[in-house]
Amino acid sequence: MRLQSIALVGSLLGVASAHFHLQYPPPRGPFVADQEVGFCDGYVNSTTNRTEFPLDGGIISITSSHPHFTFGVIISTLENPTSFRNFTQAVDYFVTESAGGFCFPVNLSAKNLPGVQEGANVTVQMVFDGGDEKLYQCADLTLKQAATVSSDVPCVNGTTTSGSPSAAVETGAPSPTATTGDASSLSALNVAGMLGIVGSVWAVL
């Protein structure tokens, strides 16, 4: 049991350097851990292969190796934003607990920002702070009211799959009402136990 715990802690500490990964909308390029402290994970130029993204019924999906983090989304309507000053807040910062997946609905038109409209090319930048440093990843989008998110996109919180975060999004995931007492809630308990172990080891370190 003790050996198992140490092996488990080792593997979790290993992924801690992985920070967070943007899963959806797809980032500008392959994740680069060392560059994530910088503007757009080091991808300073807009891409031309923009993702068509729902104007008001989108989702943002990440994986996080930090179980407790602050997250927000900033947006720019420039074709090629080059500075944080070219961005404004699209999703206010919030604090959450979720190791593994984190996925939430987003309405980019909710703040009525100028230029955030049908057909617009925008860049969204994820701002993540899991306790080490502020981290950034960007996605280049074309906003379309009629765009839909593919059911292939992973959309989970923690390691537990649940229903789609909004009625407008089809994730193809099973209904959250069907999970009581089954394997998925068991795995959630296991994760809670694992995090407890990690917490106590960090406290010793």
Ligand X SMILES: *[C@@H]1O[C@H](CO)[C@@H](O)[C@H](O)[C@H]1NC(C)=O
Q: Which residues bind Cu ion (CB under 5 A)?
A: 19, 132
CB of 82 to ligand X, least distance (A): 6
Question: In this structure, is the dihedral angle defined by the CA atoms of residues 109, 112, 113 and 116, taken in order, positive or negative?
Answer: positive
Binding mask 141-160 for ligand X (x = CB under 6 A): -x------------xxx---
How long is the chain? 205
- Residue 149: exposure state from Cβ atoms within 10 A (0-12, 13-18, ≥19): buried
Stretch that binds ligand X, among 104-112, 123-131, 145-153, 194-202 (CB under 6 A): 104-112
Q: How many CA atoms lie within 13 A of 51 on its CB side?
A: 22
Cβ-based nearer residue to ligand X, 65 or 123: 123
CB of 81 to ligand X, least distance (A): 6
177-186: long-range contacts (C-beta < 8 A, 24 or more apart)?
184/160, 185/160
Cβ-based nearer residue to Cu ion, 20 or 53: 20
Q: Which of 82, 89, 185, 190 is close enough to bind ligand X by CB under 6 A?
A: 82
CA distance 98 to 199: 14
Cβ-based nearer residue to ligand X, 3 or 167: 167
